[in-house]
Amino acid sequence: MTRMDLRSLQVRLKLPGKPLAQSNPNKSLKPSCKAQASASLEMLAPQLREGTGIRKGKLGERWKEYQGSKNWEGLLDPLEENMRNEILRYGAFVQAAYTSFNFDPSSPSYASCKFSESSMLQLCGLPETGYRVTRNLHATSGIRPPHFLTKRSSYIGYVAVCQDEEEITRLGRRDVVIAYRGTATCLEWLDNLRSMLTQIPNSTLECDMPQPKVESGFYSLYTSQDDTCPSLSEEVIDEVGKILRTSDSTKPLSITITGHSLGAALAVLTACDIRAAFPSSPISITVISFGGPRVGDRLFSQHLENQGIKILRIVNTHDVVTRVPGIVIDDTGVKGHAKLPKWLMTGLQGMPWVYAEVGQELRVSSEDSPYLNPNDFAMCHDLEAYLHLVDGFLSSACPFRATVKRDFLQLLAAQATTVWCKVLPRYMSILYRTMTAGR
């Protein structure tokens, strides 16, 4: 089956009839249906997998614009094609952090990386990125676990460096990727609930000035350590230091930190930490996050801007994770609510549950895709759903293109219990008719 066949199938799925998103989201699947979905996906995989590659365009001298030097002005609405491809490319690195994580709690190697550094990207379906993993990263919970939870540190992501000269030329610089997965362990869930703001120690601001604050649980995961594992902060700074010492200082270097959910929050903290650790380095530091929660207060947001850190948040309107923790107070009062008196707004700013958004935002919506149910919490927060929406997004005036290129085989696999029953029967019927045509 050719790639053109795949795309024509995707277009033909938008046939007249009942919109797919209107299917009953509360209807549970029987175990036999789940087995049928799994078997069907296995059958479809060989025909469809050839259309799932990462598309690339040459960035050249404009690479700084794609890294946010002009705050992505003119690149997001409408979404410029190279910008789309870069977002999807970094999303694939985040997906690799999930794929390489051992989710099996009965395994002796639970919560560790399943693959060696040398083969990880290839085994995660990214064989031709031009990057090589140089270090696996671990996060340690600051919560003392009960006796049946003895492991506090978990594999959270990795550092990868672009070493292919052809890819470096295409990108316009050597790029370092730091990729983080989202919440996966019980202790990480508990840390997520520690939503009060806490002050960042050793800030570069004067001691007598108000200090930036960040969410307690995220900061704990980033800075905690145990007897067997250094903190995530120590691992990151040590590895970035090694990369800077061995890099050619005359050639441009960028650090792109990307993550989903919890990983998005850790990406923001990492960017701030790297800039503080290497203040005189000319490196470009950019965060591209997917479905990230709020991280800090207004002073923290201003601190990131003053550091020159560029942050692009991809936000699904129907994803509740992007609306927590706390509340956001902007110039009109509490975000999404009526305007507050100025004296009350000023008084609320110092409260430990008043947050601020950071960076720039690219907003997508599950409602715009015929394959997603906007009322399904899990689906709206899923990383593959985010990548599907980014690939389909055109502009705020025309939010979703009918010829979305990203193959939704991965979407089906990631959300089999909520997606497959909507599209798979029609997909297989069309696939069968296409493959048997002319016999």
Is 388 annotated in the active site? Answer: no
What tokens does 256 get? 């792109």
Report whether 353 contacts 405 (CB < 8 A).
Answer: no
Which of the following is catalytic: 319, 376, 391, 407?
A: 319
CB atoms within 10 A of CB 73: 10
Which of the following is catalytic: 261, 284, 365, 366?
A: 261
Report whether 272 contacts 248 (CB < 8 A).
Answer: no
CB atoms within 10 A of CB 168: 16
Beta-bridge partners for 327 = 354
Q: Which segments within 106-204 are labelled E, that is strand?
A: 131-140, 153-162, 174-180, 197-199
Q: Where are the alpha helices (DSSP H) in 329-415?
A: 342-348, 377-381, 383-392, 409-414
Backbone φ and ψ for 296, nearest 5 degrees, come out as: -150, -175
Residues contacting 50, CB < 8 A, separation 6+: 1, 3, 6
Give the 3-state secondary structure of residue 274.
Answer: helix
CA atoms in the 13 A half-sphere facing the CB of 345: 16
C-alpha 286/C-alpha 267 separation (Å) is: 9
Is 381 annotated in the active site? Answer: yes
Is 260 annotated in the active site? Answer: no
C-alpha 278/C-alpha 296 separation (Å) is: 22
C-alpha 138/C-alpha 228 separation (Å) is: 11
What tokens does 73 get? 């002005």
Chain CA centroid to CA 97, Å: 10
Which of the following is catalytic: 138, 260, 303, 381?
A: 381
Beta strands 310-316 and 360-364 are parallel
Backbone φ and ψ for 382, nearest 5 degrees, come out as: -65, 140
Considering Cα of 193, then 197, then 202, then 204, what sign does the dihedral take?
positive
Report whether 314 contacts 384 (CB < 8 A).
Answer: no
Beta-bridge partners for 411 = none
Beta-bridge partners for 155 = 138
C-alpha 217/C-alpha 195 separation (Å) is: 6
Q: Catalytic positions, please? A: 261, 319, 381
